Amino acid sequence: MPELLSVVVPAYNESPVLGEFHRRTSEVLCATGMAYEIIYIDDGSTDDTAAVLARLRGNDEAVAVIELSRNFGKEVALTAGLDHANGDVVVIIDADLQDPPELISEFLREWRNGYDIVYGRRTDREGESWLKKSTAKWFYRVMNRLSDVEIPRDSGDFRLLSRRALDALMSLRETHRYMKGLYAWVGFPQKEVPYLRQARAAGETKWNYWRLWNFALEGITSFSDVPLKMSTYLGILTSSAAFLYGIYFLLRTIIFGNPVAGYPSLILVVLFLGGVQLICLGIIGEYLARTYNESKSRALYFVKGYHPSRSRASAEAESRINL
């Protein structure tokens, strides 16, 4: 059996770009000379993505389509695709052509050099605002300071995984799937390939600042317990300050007597401590909510329809006959 390459493509309302994406990707994959399958995951799209995918599958026997029962988000859509990937090696790529499919051949070269995970690293974020660039930079800085795994900067899901790296990744079934952290966490020899990230070919990004903020929270809470410990140190700090303040008052009262004053400072301290306590409770709440979600250990996704690639289906039938 020749080596099989699986390409996993999550798609949520991507019908305007899918045709072009498929054409460009197929071209690259044909040129590699490997057997391949392209697995599209329709993540509960509300436009005609499903119809476009059905048409692609009708015209190309390398196409597999997984339809999820609703929109589960990119992380889970990806997981569904990876669960169904049959390849000896897997490539994850966005449908919007921001990740150039042409880079796949370079990924494969590094894979043959013995790397298990080969990821694209953006050298420039074309079409992104200054604000997004600088928040991204700060996020990586904070994240890597706080967490125990080093998350490579400016890398996304665009990457290649060997079979053993994929099996390792798929054995992690947590509900809160911060993928970038998980890739780093499984280890194995990893290699980065720099590339220029393009602006979206068509359609719209599904991200806004609120989602990015929650994504950042997800990353930090999934890979670090430093915020939880911070409240302890904050507590020690404020109580030490209170102790010193107490001594100061004691001495002042002994030396100068006790004029009744200090209402503003009193209210200030009360408000300040109230705020600190609420923040600490909030941090505990973030972790508690995640523990709660994980403890339910629900299925990650449900599949509404699975249409394997026809080449794959016929290969399976053949191997059954040969048995």
Site residues (CB under 6 A) for ligand UDP?
10-12, 14, 43, 71, 73-74, 77, 94-96, 98, 205-207
Among positive and negative, which fits the CA dihedral 310, 315, 321, 323?
negative
Q: How far is the CB of 323 from ligand UDP (least distance, A)?
A: 37
Beta-bridge partners for 90: 6, 161
Q: Is 96 in the site for Mg ion (CB under 5 A)?
A: yes
Beta strands 4-11 and 35-42 are parallel
Q: Is 13 in the site for Mg ion (CB under 5 A)?
A: no
Among 25, 49, 98, 190, contact with Mg ion (rule: CB under 5 A): 98
Do 121 and 43 contact (CB within 8 A), yes or no?
Answer: no
Q: How far is the CB of 307 from ligand UDP (least distance, A)?
A: 17
Which strand ranges, in their side-by-side order, compose the sheet holding 89-92? 190-197, 117-125, 155-162, 89-92, 4-11, 35-42, 63-68, 303-307
CA–CA distances in Å: residue 25 to residues 17, 119, 188 = 12, 17, 27
Q: How far is the CB of 63 from ligand UDP (least distance, A)?
A: 16
Pick one of ligand UDP, Mg ion, none as the site partner of residue 69 (Cβ within 5 to 8 A by kind). none
C-beta of 12 vs 178, nearer to ligand UDP? 12
**Cα–Cα distance for residue pair 81/41, rounded to 1 Å:** 6
C-beta of 107 vs 301, nearer to ligand UDP? 301
**Cα–Cα distance for residue pair 95/37, rounded to 1 Å:** 15
Closest CA to 219 of 259, 174, 254: 174
Binding to Mg ion in span 32-61, by CB under 5 A: none
C-beta of 10 vs 101, nearer to ligand UDP? 10
Q: How far is the CB of 193 from Mg ion (least distance, A)?
A: 18
Binding to Mg ion in span 208-227, by CB under 5 A: none
Q: How far is the CB of 24 from Mg ion (least distance, A)?
A: 15
C-beta of 201 vs 228, nearer to ligand UDP? 201
User: CA neighbours within 13 Å on the CB side: how many for 265?
Assistant: 7
Q: How far is the CB of 158 from ligand UDP (least distance, A)?
A: 9
Two structure tokens written together for 183 = 């890739």
Pick one of Mg ion, ligand UDP, none as the site partner of residue 197 (Cβ within 5 to 8 A by kind). none
Binding site for Mg ion (CB under 5 A): 94, 96, 98
